[in-house]
Amino acid sequence: MERFVADGFVKVESVVPREVADKARAGLWRQIGLSPDDPAGWTQPVVWAADLTGAGPFGEIVRSPRLGAALDLVAGRGGWLPMGSLGNIPVRFPKVPPADDRGWHIDSNTQGADGTWGVSGRPSTMLLLVLLSEVGAEDAPTRIRVGSQRDVAALLAERGGEVLDPFVAGPMVDRVSVERPVAHAVGRPGDVFLVHPFTVHAADEHLGSRPRFMSQAPVMLVRPWAPDDETALGRAVRG
């Protein structure tokens, strides 16, 4: 997990066999009513699918022992809550004008007093990216600013316990992390990326030829993160 501490994310290969991810992707094709063999139907840059039940191959992914062991190393044994499903899954299509959703940001991580979610320095979630298709450099991989979790931790510490609107926080975290090098979440079906709640990331334009299926699910932490946390989540902001 030293890569996670240094970079703010880590790739875990093959949390399930490839055929499990392939089955999940086949189900999502049916759900959205499109076909991998009929590119004429790919007219939108992003189509949203969802796993809301954790049934079948989706359950094999969220209950993967290999994934659970990786989460134990990052968040501490007993420090995270089991996932019931992968949630909403954006499917990005090639050869159409890109969606205007590619700004640098961190995901909402804190529930406010009014029940809405925003961004704070005491996050209750971390991010899990699950690849359900081949994702190469041209296949709209998520862009990740390496080491940016330390920039954002310092920024949010100055805001105290304030919960920021994600659209307000986006330009702020973009500005403080702009000098960081960029990595791309590429891999094979069944690979996952564990991402620190403060790591700045963004979608990318699809320049390839195969649709990209990747879930971006939150993993709930048992208790809100704190700066003195001795897990990899805490050490990652202290360098």
pLDDT tens readout for residues 44-83: 999 999 999 999 999 999 999 999 999 999 999 999 999 9
pLDDT classification of 96: cutoffs 50, 70, 90 = confident
Instruction: Kindly state the average pLDDT of the residues 117-143.
Output: 97
Instruction: Kindly state the average pLDDT of the residues 19-48.
Output: 97
Residue 120 has pLDDT above 80, yes or no: yes
pLDDT classification of 118: cutoffs 50, 70, 90 = very high
The domain ranges of the chain are 2-224
CA distance 35 to 47: 13
What is the dihedral angle through the alpha carbons of 206, 208, 211, 215, rounded to the nearest 10 degrees?
-50
pLDDT tens per residue, range 189-236:
999 999 999 999 999 999 999 999 999 999 999 999 988 889 999 999
CATH number, domain 2-224, options 3.40.50.20, 1.10.10.10, 2.60.120.620, 3.40.1000.10: 2.60.120.620
Question: Residue 123 carries which side chain, given as an amino acid letter?
Answer: P
- Quote the Cα angle for 231-232-238, to 5°: 100
**In Å, how far are 176, 187, 214 from 190, measured between CA atoms?**
33, 8, 10
pLDDT classification of 101: cutoffs 50, 70, 90 = confident
Helix (H, G, I), strand (E, B) or coil at 94: coil
Q: What percent of the chain has pLDDT over 90?
A: 90
Residue 239 has pLDDT above 90, yes or no: no
Residue 99 has pLDDT above 90, yes or no: no
What's the whole-number average pLDDT of the chain?
Answer: 96
Count of CB atoms within 10 A of residue 182's CB? Answer: 14
Cβ-based neighbours of 155, under 8 Å, separated by 6 or more: 172, 173, 176
Q: What percent of the chain has pLDDT over 70?
A: 100
pLDDT classification of 170: cutoffs 50, 70, 90 = very high
Q: Global pTM?
A: 0.96
For the chain, first and last CA: distance in Å? 13
pLDDT value, residue 100: 73
Which range is most confident: 73-77, 109-113, 235-239?
73-77
pLDDT value, residue 133: 98
Q: Which tokens is 232 given?
A: 């990899």
**In Å, how far are 12, 67, 85, 95, 124 from 128, measured between CA atoms?**
11, 10, 12, 27, 13
